[in-house]
Amino acid sequence: MDEPAWDAISTLPMVQYEPNAGEAPTERTEIRLAYDDTYFYCSMRAYDSDPNGVRATSLYRDRISGSDHLELLLDTYNDNETAYVFTTTPAGIRNDLEISNDGTGGTISSNTWLNRDFNTFWDAETTVTDQGWFAEIRIPFSSLRFQDTDGRVIMGLTVQRKVARKLERLVFPAVPPKTNFAFLRPSLAQKIVLTGIKPIKTLYVTPYVLAGHEQINALNDSGTGYDQRGEFQGNLGGDVKFSITNNLTADFTINTDFAQAEADDQLVNLSRFSLFFPEKRQFFQERASIFDFRTGGLSRLFFSRRIGLTATGEQVPIYGGVRLIGRMNTWDLAVLDMQTQRQDTIPSENFGVLRLRKRVFNRNSYLGGMFTSRIDTEGNSNLAYGVDGLIRVAGDDYLTLQWAQTFDSRFVDQAAADFKSGRLALEMNRRRRRGFGYTVGAIFSGPNYNPGVGFVDRSDFKYGTTALSHTWFRESGPFIWHKLEALGNAYLDNSSNYVLSSEYGAEWSFSRRNLDGGSVLVKKVYENILTDFPLAEGVVIPPGMYDFYRISGTYSMAVDRTVRTGAVLETGTFYDGWLHTLTLTPSWYQSKYFQLNLEYSYNYGIFDNRNEILNFHIARLRVGTALNRHISTNALLQYNGAQDLLSYNVRFRWNFREGQDLWIVVNSGLNTDRMAFTPNLPRTANRSILLKYIHTFIF
């Protein structure tokens, strides 16, 4: 950062993105870019009029936690859709993530455009002085994926500085806040041209060794109690990553293990449909967006949690597999093949995925296809194919379309010709948070649609949705923007066309000048229940047609505050009763050595006609501690009142260097209402302690 070579490079012209878009920075900021044949560099001299106000509230990898930071976005394929993001703070921690879908989403293509679990190899060093803080980022081109055309590489670039105490975000180029998180949209990035890049074809070999002990409680043969047994665990395996070319990477895995992945959140399902849990396992993270094939809402043709996990989240051992991801000219290519072991009544299975996608019409549009297979050793098979597209029609107006069809050997009466095993999703929306906005969508899902390697929340329906909105931006006053939206949707039965469920309402949302945000939503809900619907233990909604009204309000303080909270209050009639829900999400970044994050939800429902009461709490407490950037502990403590279960997941990490880690992971649970069951539950649920060492060799 103090090398004379940096002074010979011009600084980037930074402007405010928030709170006052387009205005000059309030703090002197010098950001410079450079590269050689193997690395891309970014340096920042972040001068500060109040050096004591510089914030560094975390020492844990991938956790910014309201710190000041330098952030670099690189659309390495120049596809205006995907990008890598690299962030560092005054404490020198590294945060990296992937962006897909141009950082946006609608009702069909919504959610998960931000992959926070992605990690790769790069370096960051920082220092804090009485003048401010200073940072340098070095990214090897071997950690990026890009296309070289006649010695030229075109990328999109966005650079940011965040002054946390002022809630001020500086950005280059001068990205206007026309959508949520516009500064993370690859299509709005500045185009840069690099020449003479000669990245090394790097081979990463990452073996692991694992040892531990697990305590299991199993019902005895007579069914009168539980027997406790202990099992020692030991395992060897590893991963290999090889960059075949600048834009084609192969990954191999043997005896795959995910012991260090964080436990799933405890959730309560107050709907009639399946809950969705995100993928947290590292092997499935890099360029995961290329495998993204949505078929409406949370449903998707490929869902990596189908591999090596049961429907309840229990691990199924994986023999190994291979993944190939890359780009050739305007084509994206991804191949995945994994083989699981037999476990109890679950046979050994092979999972295969082929994904192709090609840019068409313009730089913001593509057409693609996917094929998936799930074949077990007992002769059962599930095959699926799909075609999809994203078309930029004009300006910020986009058309999304998906068609998928499945073929399952267990459905002998399935007829492919009548589309009973198919699913079609269409959506037109405006990706802009200014002035008039809209979303119009439709889904058709056949009764036999069943992607064996995918996720489906509900099937056998027709669906339509419409949302119309208007957003106002204010140059002054308490609000940066506020939006009024009218929305509605309905699910219809395929055979009879009667309404299964619907929602209609209006929402007002806003962002304040201090970056707090909130909303108020009023809606009318209709549900047609055909069979008994168990809502919770002792609470069953009988068949019938129900109209009820709900109102909710949310408020969330700016994420850059060291002490902050969010709150959600929802109330109103619920089927033939009332349901009140309160959710609080306080956070305290006490220092870079210690932080607390709590998520608490209380649900109280009363159904007078049946004298039934729903009353339970859900709580998740995350405790983060760190001695330095290399040694840290993270604990996740959860209480699920609906299941009377208290559980904890504690992960100690000693990161010697990038790719070399020692993990100690402890998992356990306590049954808080043992006497409610016959036979009585053991006080302690299954418990395990695992030690895992990972070492990456780079060739």
Question: Residue 12 is part of a domain; what is its CATH number?
Answer: 2.60.40.1190
Residue 109 inside a domain? The answer is yes
Of the two residues 665 and 674, the one the predictor is more confident about is 665
Last residue of a domain, one of 596, 619, 643: 643
> Greater confidence, 255 or 283?
255
Decide if 312 is inside a domain: no
* pLDDT band, very low/low/confident/very high, at 673 (cuts 50, 70, 90): confident
Mean pLDDT (the chain) is 90
- H/E stretch holding 6: helix 4-7
Geometric angle at alpha carbon 314, from 264 and 300, rounded to 5°: 65
Confidence category of residue 201, pLDDT binned at 50, 70, 90: confident
Is residue 449 a contact partner of residue 456, using CB atoms and an 8 Å limit?
A: yes
Quote the CA–CA distance of 263 and 276 in Å, as a whole number.
14
* Residue 450 placed within a domain: no
**Residue 414: what pLDDT?**
52
pLDDT score recorded for residue 416: 53
pLDDT of residue 475: 80
Q: Encode 213-230: b = buried (16+ Cβ within 10 Å), e = exposed.
A: eebebeeeeeeeeeeeee
Say what percent of the chain tops pLDDT 90.
63
Give 678's contacts (C-beta < 8 A, 6+ positions apart).
none
Strands 39-47, 29-35: parallel, antiparallel or unpaired by DSSP?
antiparallel
User: Average of pLDDT values for 222-244?
Assistant: 88
pLDDT tens, position by position, 546-597: 999 999 999 999 988 889 999 999 999 999 999 999 999 999 999 999 999 9
pLDDT at 127: 96
Q: How far is it, in rounded angstroms, from Cα 450 to Cα 224?
A: 39
pLDDT of residue 165: 92
Domain contains 628:
yes
**23-34 pLDDT per residue, tens:** 999 999 999 999
Looking at the domain assignment, is residue 137 inside a domain? yes
**Residues 182, 183, 189, 194, Cα dihedral to 10°:** -160
Question: Do residues 489 and 106 lie in contact, with contact meaning Cβ atoms separated by under 8 Å?
Answer: no
Domain boundaries, position 97: 4-195
Q: What is the pLDDT of residue 108?
A: 44
Q: Is residue 574 part of a domain?
A: yes
Per-residue tokens: 172? 């280059």
Contact by Cβ (8 Å): 320, 337? no
According to the model, what pLDDT value does residue 328 have?
Answer: 83
Rg (CA), the chain: 26
Q: What is the pLDDT of residue 110?
A: 46
Look at 198 and 54; give whichever has higher pLDDT. Answer: 54
Number of domains into which the chain is organized: 2
Among residues 592, 618, 643, the one where a domain terminates is: 643
| 625 contacts 652 by C-beta, under 8 angstroms | no
Residue entry with tokens 């992607």:
451
Angle at 335 between CA 330 and CA 338, to 5 degrees: 165
**What pLDDT does residue 150 have?**
84
Please determine, for residue 599, whether its predicted confidence score (pLDDT) is greater than 90.
Answer: yes
Q: Residue range 616-634: average pLDDT?
A: 94
pLDDT score at 471: 95
In a domain, 160, yes or no: yes
Per-residue tokens: 362: 């313009």
Q: Each residue of 283-324: pLDDT tens digit?
A: 887 778 889 898 888 899 999 989 998 877 788 999 999 999
Contact status, residue 293 vs residue 423, Cβ threshold 8 Å: no
Q: How much is the average pLDDT of 160-181?
A: 92
> What is the pLDDT, as a whole number, of residue 148?
84
Which of 527, 521, 568, 561 minimizes the C-alpha distance to 544?
527
In the chain, the percentage of residues whose pLDDT exceeds 70 is 98
Amino acid identity, position 266? Q
Condensed to tens digits (0 to 9), the pLDDT of residues 382-439 reads: 999 999 999 999 988 999 999 999 999 887 655 555 678 999 999 999 988 789 999 9
Confidence of residue 112 (pLDDT cuts 50, 70, 90): low
Amino acid making up residue 131: Q
pLDDT at 645 over 90: no
What's the pLDDT score for residue 107? Answer: 42
Q: Is the Cβ–Cβ distance between 444 and 427 less than 8 Å?
A: no
pLDDT at position 247: 84
Using CA atoms, how far apart are residues 641 and 659, in angstroms rounded to an integer?
39
What pLDDT does 106 receive? Answer: 45
Q: What is the pLDDT of residue 105?
A: 61
Determine which of 112-126, 332-346, 427-441 has the lowest per-residue pLDDT on average: 112-126
Q: Which two tokens stand for residue 637?
A: 């403590």
Q: Given this model, what pLDDT does residue 368 score?
A: 95
pLDDT of residue 196: 86
Q: Is residue 559 part of a domain?
A: yes
Where residue 354 falls among pLDDT bands split at 50, 70, 90?
Answer: very high
In the prediction, which pLDDT does 88 show?
Answer: 97
Question: What integer pLDDT is reported at residue 298 of this predicted model?
Answer: 83
Q: What is the pLDDT of residue 467?
A: 96
